[in-house]
Amino acid sequence: MSETTTEPTSEAGDTEAHARLSTAPVEESGSTAVPGSFGGRRAPGPWGWITWTAREITGWARWFWRQLTSMRTALLLLLLLSLAAIPGSLIPQNGVDPMKVEQFREERTTLTPLYDALGMFDVYSSVWFSAIYILLFVSLIGCIVPRTWQFVGQLRGRPPGAPKRLDRMPAYTTWRTAGQPEEVREAALGVLRKRRFRAHTVGDAVAAEKGYLRELGNLAFHLALIVMLIAFGWGELYKSEGNKLIVEGDGFANTPVQYDDMRSGSLFSNDDLEPFSFDLDDFRATYAQSGPNRGTPRTYEAELTYREGVDGTEKKKVVEVNKPLEIGGTKVYLTSHGYAPVVTVRDGKGEVVFSQPVPMLPIDQNITSQGAVKVLDGYRNPQGEEEQLGFSTVFVPTFAGKGSGTMFSQFPALEFPVLAVAGYHGSLGVDSGILQNVYQLDDRKMKQFKDENGDTLRKMLLPGESMELPGGAGSITFEKEIKEWANFQVVRQPAGGWALTGAIAAIAGLSGSLFIQRRRVWVRATAGEDGVTVVEMAGLGRSESARLPQELGELVGLVHDRAPTAPDAAPDPDAAPDPDAAPDPDADGPDSKGPDADGPDPEGRDADGPDPDSDPADSPVPSPEGADK
């Protein structure tokens, strides 16, 4: 990378003329950062030790900072970040699907400890992943800040004056005109300003520049990335997210105790919860009635009545899958649904001990569902003892097992509902403190009801039918009313607006940075030896571009209209370089030192960042020059 080295020695030179077309950082040569030697010898005595150490520390710190904010490091960190994101997409993640993680843990007992140690189940919040992106963003800030100052400096300053040899520029032309040099310069100034160039006269030439938006766009883009990251991080820290299953007719108030489960960011507090409540009035689902995908869902609609604040006025809203209810910064999403058959349980005396809808958990596309009816208290067995009852149930909205007796559904809507029940008595084990799955029966401390043959007592019930428990133990009824339930995800993730703003700014900035070309144009007008004015015009872009010569051509046309070619000037190739012979590199010595040697400003430091000339970066739109050469 030797050709991209800046030469600090030329700092004293005509800085303005060589101001860079881009504020892109120039790669350090490395020679300034020889580890461990930051100049100076260690003087004797404690003071000497202190100064030496301080020098050593600051030296290292500066070296480290320069490395971190160098373009090469940024590139490496970017690559690392994309590599680091891969495992999280292949290994189950806690944040995405905790059930899968559990399954993985059970199946791969040897890998699990290793993965645990490496944080493989939480890649995106792991130390190493965070380290990479934090470094990247520190590097980004370290990159943006100096470039911003540099850019402000360029905006404050004026376009640099014309280089000595305009004919060495990528696009060049010259002609002779009858007007005075001042008049030509004046005309050129007018033309360029009209074309919204920043232009002024320096010495015998007009210097103009345009396309600052490129730089601005680039800075805006990188800044927007930082905004997005902060917004995302903020959102993660303060977010809360929970689920609530609601049966038609029931409601929910937004307090932590009402959630079925809840997760929140590490800085979240319960006071952050928006006060509101809602009831599920009705749930409607429609399904494909025919065709190859019969049974696939078409629409889901949940009709809600909601109240903002503690007791606000009631409002209605239909929530669909992509259309959440929004209250303040909280959104209520519809995520799943199922059936909740109403079940009534009576004791031996015929008294109702349980009567309510029981939500069942769908296990397939056609909503074959499993569930459990748990009678926790209020039941006494025929002997008069207090006991708990449990029923494991399978529910199908459209029974398909006629004749075979197997319980599965062939259509998700309620066309032929059947509930299969099997009963237990004893202790449900709910008090034992272990979290119980509401959809499953823990039968470890329960006894099955048996029929007269000693077989398990189970029965398939149609709506309205009952199953008698043996020995006068009571009955269970599958009521005609079957309700539906819907699961709602209640999410609050602040700073989403910031993330979106950052995203939009990023796209705008990126487009500016990729599609706008920064370029300079010079118009020199001098009196030739024979007194006829020689006009020279040249253009320089950050890259070799098809549009630059074209644009220069247009400008030339405009200037030429005001300062036309002098009629019949005596041919004098020495005084007025004619296009055919124009650029003659030999005049300036060998021209073979590689791209930079024949750069735009051969004298002085390389003004245009790392490698301006051979950089085709600037006009991304395929142009004739790209492929049509």
Partner 1 sequence: MTTLAATTNESLAQISNVLIYSAMAVYTLAFFAYIAEWTFGSRSKVARTAAALTSGKDAAEPAAAAPAVTVKKAGGTTVLERPEVVVRSSGTSRADVPDGPGAHGGDEQGDLYGRIAVSLTVLGFLLSFGGVLTRALSVQRAPWGNMYEFNITFTTVAVGVYLALLAFRRNVRWMGLPLVTAVLLDLGVAVTWLYTDSDQLVPALHSYWLYIHVSTAILCGAVFYVAAVSTILYLFRDSYENKLATGGTPGRFATSVMERLPAANSLDKFAYRVNAAVFPLWTFTIIAGAIWAGDAWGRYWGWDPKETWSFITWIAYACYLHARATAGWKGRKAAYLALLAFGCWLFNYYGVNIFVSGSKHSYAGVE
Positions 179 through 218 that interact with ligand HEM (CB under 6 A): 218
Residue 594 interacts with which of partner 1, ligand HEM, none, CB < 5 to 8 Å by class: partner 1
CB contact at 8 A, 418 and 407: yes
Q: Interacting stretch for partner 1, rule CB under 8 A, among 30-38, 110-118, 251-259, 283-291?
A: 283-291
Q: At closest approach, how far in Å is the CB of 558 from partner 1?
A: 10
CB contact at 8 A, 158 and 198: yes
Positions 54 through 113 that interact with ligand HEM (CB under 6 A): 69, 71, 74, 78
Backbone angles phi, psi at 40, to 5 degrees: 80, 150
CA 419, CA 400: separation in Å to the nearest integer? 12
CA 182, CA 382: separation in Å to the nearest integer? 118
Instruction: Give the orientation angle of helix 212-238 with respect to helix 496-515, to 10 degrees.
Output: 160
Query: The tokens of 297 are what?
Result: 């869902």
Binding partner 1 (rule: CB under 8 A), the pick from 109, 110, 322, 453 is 322
Positions 139 through 168 that interact with ligand HEM (CB under 6 A): 139-140, 143
Q: At closest approach, how far in Å is the CB of 506 from ligand HEM?
A: 9
Backbone angles phi, psi at 171, to 5 degrees: -130, 130
Select the residue whose beta carbon is closest to ligand HEM and give its number: 143
Residue 341 interacts with which of ligand HEM, partner 1, none, CB < 5 to 8 Å by class: none
CA 493, CA 331: separation in Å to the nearest integer? 9
Positions 544 through 563 that interact with partner 1 (CB under 8 A): 544, 549, 552-553, 556-557, 560
540 in contact with ligand HEM (CB under 6 A): no
- Provide the 8-state DSSP code for 569: P
Closest Cα partner for 467 from 441, 443, 485, 449? 449
Q: Interacting stretch for partner 1, rule CB under 8 A, among 61-69, 392-400, 442-450, 494-502?
A: 494-502
Positions 592 through 621 that interact with partner 1 (CB under 8 A): 592, 594-595, 598-600, 609-611, 613-617, 619-621
Residue 222 interacts with which of ligand HEM, partner 1, none, CB < 5 to 8 Å by class: ligand HEM
Q: At closest approach, how far in Å is the CB of 290 from partner 1?
A: 6
145 in contact with partner 1 (CB under 8 A): no
Question: Closest CB to ligand HEM among 80 and 91?
Answer: 80
Positions 156 through 185 that interact with partner 1 (CB under 8 A): 167-175
Query: The tokens of 296 are what?
Result: 């696939």
Residue 398 interacts with which of partner 1, ligand HEM, none, CB < 5 to 8 Å by class: none
Positions 218 through 257 that interact with ligand HEM (CB under 6 A): 218, 222, 225
590 in contact with partner 1 (CB under 8 A): yes
CA 25, CA 46: separation in Å to the nearest integer? 39
CA 477, CA 345: separation in Å to the nearest integer? 6
Residue 608 interacts with which of ligand HEM, partner 1, none, CB < 5 to 8 Å by class: none
CA 23, CA 3: separation in Å to the nearest integer? 17
Residues with Cβ within 8 Å of 393's Cβ and at least 6 positions away in sequence, in order, are 341, 343, 358, 360, 370, 371, 372, 373, 419, 420, 421, 422
Query: The tokens of 75 are what?
Result: 């590139």
Write out the residues near ligand HEM by the rule CB under 6 A.
Answer: 22, 24-25, 69, 71, 74, 78, 136, 139-140, 143, 218, 222, 225, 510, 513-514, 617
